[in-house]
Amino acid sequence: MKKLMLSLIGCAFAFGANAADITIFYAPTCPHCHHARDFIGSSLIYEYDNLQVKEVNVTNVDNRQAFVDALFKCGYQKGGVPVVVIGDKCFQGYADSVKAEWREAVEADLTDEQKAAAAANKTALEQDKDAFIAAHADRKNAISEQEPAKKN
């Protein structure tokens, strides 16, 4: 019984580490949001095999409370978008300079092997982006739109 328990614990550590999931709060007309969503959708989801992304359109009235809750959780006083939540880290706005910080947040709980695999994916993506994306087309399913909360 002891061996079984130790084996199960070992499996949890070996397979339990996943990339920190991303929630992005965006507005369809926001150019910074478009750039942030493009970076996530054309790079991060291909670099990190298990990454899941939830997009939340803040212009939908039914999503406003989720956005307000995220602003409060993140300690932001103003509601500018995009707001990106990765694990327990929050980012507001977008510039190319945040890419490394976002990768670091995604990798927070990854093993060294998973980080090495992500680095190899990033290199392959940089070498031939079109071929890599075509070979991993199923990763587009990693991004989903949050269904608006229904009011009762």
Predicted structure pTM score:
0.84
The predicted pLDDT at position 7 comes to 36
Residue 63 to residue 77: CA distance in whole angstroms? 18
Chain Cα centroid distance, residue 19: 8
pLDDT digits (tens, 9 = 90+) for 52-89: 999 999 999 999 999 999 999 999 988 899 999 999 99
Q: What span, in angstroms and rounded, lies between the C-alpha atoms of 83 and 125?
A: 26
